[in-house]
Structure 1
Amino acid sequence: MSTLQNCKLLSIPKIEDPRGNLSVIENNVVPFEIKRVYYLYDVPSGAERGGHSHIEQQEFLIALSGSFDVILNDGQKENVVTLNKPFQGLLITNGIWRELKNFSSGAVCLVIASDVFSEEDYIREFQEFQESKS
């Protein structure tokens, strides 16, 4: 059973250069094979994203620009992680409820996923998520 302890901030290699920094994400950074990449941007002030859990899929979230909060819940505990560094990402294992809030102006959230989109893998109602944990 996944717990908040399974969700971790992971460093992304950063190559510093006076012309601008470069970070590289390969399969040695995330502990799963990358199957899908997408990003959230132009999130209106006060809007929230997420609000679901995955049955199998794992995700790795990065604030490429700006900042936002990720509220994690494992059915027992809740934790808030602020992402605001493009060389650090948050690993979210399966079975963890997540909500994304407090997007700064111009924030971009990159999501690297362990699987392609499948609606059957989502739990979109918090009560159903809680029931799945008991």
Structure 2
Amino acid sequence: MDYTKIDDIDLRDIPKITDPRGNLSVIEGDLLPYAVQRVYYLYDVPSDAYRGGHSHKEQQEFLIALSGSFEVILDDGENKKAITLNKPNKGLLIPTGIWRELENFSSGAVCLVLSSGKFLESDYIREYEDFKLFKGA
């Protein structure tokens, strides 16, 4: 049984170095509670499409809107919460055992994901009913 709750989700500031030539943000040190094992990004997502629709048994993920905006719908099996990501110096840390769906992508939106694990299909829970069983709901 997984006891991860909505309150365990963390919207984190990414350090920003401001410069007249353009800003720079850095992810290093202890900003993330894990070593990044996989990096991927979503782009050219139609505004009426959605991504995600799964949970992880062990992986944690850190989502950043590098460009544009999108909404992350989070569900711990009992409570739901929607968070809009629209700043490249803010990231959403999603722990294990949280169902997520990404939707309402703006034109030109790019979602960067820094994952704690390499792709492993057996780590995914892709059916919501299976997710509820995993959570003991």
Give CA-to-partner distance per residue, 1:22-52, whole Å, 9 cap, x none: 0011242111111110000000120100000
Matches within 5 A, 1:56-71: 56-71=58-73
- 2:104 aligns to what? 102
- 2:75 aligns to what? 73
- 2:44 aligns to what? 42
Task: List structure 1 runs of 4+ shifted beyond 6 angstroms.
Answer: none
SS at match of 1:69: strand
Matched, 1:22 2:27: no
CA distance in structure 2 between the partners assigned to 1:72 and 1:27 by the alignment: 27
Q: 2:91 aligns with which of 73, 89, 92?
A: 89
Q: For structure 2, list consecutive stretches of 5 or more residues without a partner in the other structure.
A: none
Please give the TM-score of this superposition, normalised by the length of structure 2.
0.96
CA distance in structure 1 between the partners assigned to 2:29 and 2:57 by the alignment: 22
Query: What number of residue pairs does the alignment pair up?
Result: 134
Please give the TM-score of this superposition, normalised by the length of structure 1.
0.98
CA distance in structure 1 between the partners assigned to 2:97 and 2:113 by the alignment: 17
CA distance in structure 1 between the partners assigned to 2:135 and 2:31 by the alignment: 29
Percent identity for Structure 1 against Structure 2: 64
- 1:125 aligns to what? 127
